[in-house]
Amino acid sequence: MAKKYNWAILGCGKIARKFSNDLKLLPNANLYAAASRSLKNAKDFANELGYEKAFGSYQEMVNDPDVDIVYIATPHSFHLEHTLLCLNHKKAVLCEKAFAMNSKEVKKMISASKENNTFLMEAFWTIFQPQFLKMNEIVKSKELGDLKFIKSDFMFNAEFDPNKRLYNIDLGAGSLLDIGIYPIFTSLFFLGKPFKIKTIANIRSTGVEDSITMLFGYKNGAMSVLTSSFESSCKNETELCFENGFIKVERKLAEPILMNKNGSDQFVDYDTISGEGYELEASHVMECLDNDLIESPVLPLSFSLDLMEILDAVRKDAGIIFPNHD
């Protein structure tokens, strides 16, 4: 019989709620503990989502010997601190994106995982989605020839509020780490690390970037044009352009993939899933633990470090500074 794992949530906010609803779909996941800075928030969250225990501090939760896996869902600026807290208490960690604020922090997290011989993975859920897996299948098949160009956008209009996570510089604000990371992920996954990066960013008087356009150049001549913004909305599409056609997907996960081959269109379906998609990464973590792994073979820590190194390079080119993390 499959081992059942006790999951704990660290930071009871918006994404933790969505993640918990998907966790309920997994028979080997036990919704064990909710940990918040406030006991009331932890109790409300635990009652609403069905966690057995509620803790009014993150420290109390990691002190509980029965916690197996912690899902870290705090703002990016706390990911290093909270990951170290959990790993140093030998709790397996699934930590939200952006994995940290910069690559120095990611390296510390990787070292802590190795020193404690304890599992660590970035919660980059996209890599487990059937839509993404199907895109990868098409790329690898070379049915459309070589991949030459990627265009990928992620935008939504977020009202300016310097106290909220998206615009609070102390919490790692800006569109880049919050949503620009997705188009960058796509470019890294399919084309690797770029050798040339050019950017244009809009930086507000508070120091927070709210829109950015990035151009990536690759040694084989491939290119990516990537954007993110809290200032406007768009269709939020990703287009992979090949020698003999293209594939196009919307960020909405249920949409089929549009494939154009030699000028003719067709739609490509992929497997459906029962949750919002977060159950796939959670299930993968437990599969890794079943196999005594401390790192995912699907989303290795070297990939997360590469991703953060690109984010660092983009920030350098664009002049985006996080005062307490640079």
Residues in contact with ligand NAP by CB under 6 A are: 11-16, 36-38, 41, 73-76, 78, 96-97, 123, 125, 165, 171, 178
- Distance between CA atoms of residues 98 and 304, nearest Å: 9
Query: Min. distance of Cβ 44 from ligand NAP in angstroms?
Result: 10
Q: Which CB, 14 or 219, lies closer to ligand NAP? A: 14
Q: Which CB, 78 or 230, lies closer to ligand NAP? A: 78
Query: Min. distance of Cβ 171 from ligand NAP in angstroms?
Result: 6
Q: Which CB, 83 or 199, lies closer to ligand NAP? A: 83
14-23 and 39-49 helices cross at what angle (nearest 10)? 30
Q: Are 39 and 56 in contact (CB under 8 A)?
A: yes
Ordered DSSP codes for 29-58: EEEEEEE-SSHHHHHHHHHHHT-SEEESSH
Entry field: residues in the chain: 326
Query: CA-based Rg of the chain, rounded to a whole angstrom?
Result: 20
Q: Which CB, 134 or 165, lies closer to ligand NAP? A: 165
In sequence order, which residues have a C-beta less than 8 Å from that of residue 164 and are 6 or more positions away?
Answer: none
Q: Which CB, 13 or 217, lies closer to ligand NAP? A: 13
The pairing of beta strand 69-72 with beta strand 92-96: parallel
